[in-house]
Amino acid sequence: MKKILGIFALLVAVCVVTVLFSDRFLTAYNLENVIRRTALFGIISIGVAFVIITGGIDLSIGSLICLVGCGLPWLLSVKGLPLPVALAAVLGASLLIGLAHGLLITKLRLQPFVVTLCGLLLYRGLARGLTGDQTQGFGAAHDGLRWLATGKLAVPGLGGFGVPMPCVILLFVAIAAAVFLNHTIYGRYLLALGRNEQAARYSGIDTSHMILLAYVICSGLAGLGGTLFVLDVNSAQPVDFGNFYELYAVAAAVLGGCSLRGGEGAILGVVIGAALMQVLRNMITLTGLPTHIEFAVIGAVILVGVSADEVVKRLAAKRRAAREAVVG
């Protein structure tokens, strides 16, 4: 809990600064937008958090989002498959891809970096090949399905504010993930094997199966994310859809308290990490900063924030140590 306090404080600080510079930040419309984007990125970030907790990494998320994001409208609009079949196909493919990653990593003992880097190249290439590099979209069709990404649940008494559907989905995913990680034996296994896989194996944990599960969860959520992304935007170009999103996901997970060395992570922190990045991007447009320095601003704010968090933590630790020395 302490770990996510810093990132939460940074999120609040960025929100306060944005409110000070723009009276539009707190409008219902803007908050809905920011929440929807946070939810979309939050879902893929929770997925990669599971892999990072095991000490692994998944670089293929952006390409998998591309494969699913282009694949779903392609199957529906070009191939004319019925909706349930197309949905089952893309989500099933995501899970199978996760399974393949897991098997290559646990059985063939390939490095996660290598496996998922090849995935990064492979899935985007596959998406481009299947679609002939053509932009994919739903046109005016499938508004019912698109409601999952674009719709909102009205909250009475809040001046037209509604909770965006992706946020509802994120809520389910996050609660399930948090319960799994913190309140089931399997979650504890994951954290344990992330700290020290050998020790975990010697104490009787089937580490291979747990790692396999982490990759399946990661790719499954990336597939869900990709579906929601394309439902929201209604246009996916195979060559750049989801480009670099794995880095957004990994960044959100690490900002939220996951250690790249494995064994640590909190779902709430990951969601806050995802929110931080989306609020920063929103702030840049709302305050009228030029968009071409967007990434510079995001990078600088996060770096300063994380450094400040670390300094504060160290000072606190020093003070505690000093106090204990006096007491002792």
Partner 1 sequence: MNRSLARIPALLLVLLFAFVGCKKSDSGAGATPAAKKPRIAYVCNGVADFWSIAKVGAEKAGSDLSANVSVHMPTEGISDQKRIVEDLITRGVDGIAISPIDPVNQTDLLNKVAKQTKLITHDSDAPASDRLLYIGVDNYAAGRLCGALVKEALPNGGSIMIFIGRLEQDNAKRRRQGVIDEVLGRPHNPTNYDVPGTVLKNDKYTILGTLTDQFDRVAGKAHVEDTLSKHPDIGCMVGLFGYNPPLILEALKQAGKLGKVQVVAFDEDAATLQSIKDGNVHGTVVQNPYMYGYKSVELLLALQKGDKTVIPASKFIDIPARQIRKDNVEAFWSDLKIKLGKRD
Residues that bind partner 1 (CB under 8 A): 22, 24-25, 27, 29-30, 33, 37, 40, 108-110, 128, 133-135, 137, 139-140, 150, 229, 232-241, 243, 281-282, 285-286, 288-292
Nearest-approach distance from CB 321 to partner 1, in angstroms: 43
Cβ closer to partner 1: 215 or 241? 241
Contact 306, 273 (CB under 8 A): no
Nearest-approach distance from CB 212 to partner 1, in angstroms: 18
- Helices 185-195 and 165-183, packing angle to 10 deg: 80
Cβ closer to partner 1: 29 or 202? 29
Integer Cα distance of 43 and 271 in angstroms: 8
- Which residue, 51, 186, 48, is CA-closest to 105? 51
Nearest-approach distance from CB 202 to partner 1, in angstroms: 20
**Six token digits for residue 134:** 């053509």
Nearest-approach distance from CB 2 to partner 1, in angstroms: 32
Nearest-approach distance from CB 323 to partner 1, in angstroms: 47
**Six token digits for residue 66:** 């591309």
Nearest-approach distance from CB 109 to partner 1, in angstroms: 5
Integer Cα distance of 65 and 83 in angstroms: 18
b/e sequence 287-308, b meaning 16+ C-beta within 10 Å: eeeeeeeeeebbeebbeebeee
154 three-class SS: strand
Cβ closer to partner 1: 2 or 109? 109
Listing DSSP states for 98-149 in one string gives: HHHHHHHHHTS---HHHHHHHHHHHHHHHHHHHHTT--B--TT--HHHHHHH
Nearest-approach distance from CB 266 to partner 1, in angstroms: 26
Integer Cα distance of 59 and 113 in angstroms: 7
Nearest-approach distance from CB 18 to partner 1, in angstroms: 11
Cβ closer to partner 1: 114 or 199? 114
Nearest-approach distance from CB 3 to partner 1, in angstroms: 29
| Residues near 23 by beta carbon (within 8 Å), at least 6 away in sequence | none
Listing DSSP states for 72-87 in one string gives: HHIIIIIS---HHHHH
Cβ closer to partner 1: 112 or 137? 137
Cβ closer to partner 1: 4 or 34? 34
Cβ closer to partner 1: 5 or 289? 289
Cβ closer to partner 1: 234 or 259? 234
The distance of Cα 233 from the centroid of its chain, to the nearest Å, equals 17
Cβ closer to partner 1: 31 or 81? 31
Beta bridge pairs of residue 154: 162
